Amino acid sequence: MQADKEKVAKLLRTARGQLDGILKMVEEDRYCIDISNQLMATQAILKKVNSEILHEHIQHCVHDAFNSEDQGQKISEIMMIMDKLTK
């Protein structure tokens, strides 16, 4: 992985903390809208992490593949990820 591991780990720890908080909110029967807002905030962090990882993948792995025999495979991988992201 070429992404900044510390940055990614920090964001993932934040998301994990938010998930723990959401679970507690559910257990406490908190207001649905408050829970939904926290879920969306956690999803936003996960999207940011995914974007960071994919950006670095394209900048490094895919870029390097264009000078090797792996270019077709890397392009296929990116296309599959794009398909998943647009569903």
Task: Write down the domain spans for the chain.
Answer: 5-85
Where do we find the tokens 């792995």? 61
CB contact at 8 A, 59 and 4:
no
Residue 30 CA to residue 20 CA, distance in Å, equals: 14
Name, in order, each residue with C-beta under 8 angstroms of 61's C-beta and a sequence gap of 6 or more: 2, 74
Q: What share of the chain is helix, strand, coil (3-state, %, to 5)?
A: 85, 0, 15
Q: What is the pLDDT of residue 78?
A: 86
Q: What's the pTM?
A: 0.81
| Residue 58, token pair as written in the block | 């394209």
Where do we find the tokens 């593949």? 65
Chain segment 40-75, per-residue pLDDT in tens: 999 999 999 999 999 888 888 887 888 887 788 888
| Superfamily grouping for domain 5-85 | Metal-sensitive repressor, helix protomer (1.20.58.1000)
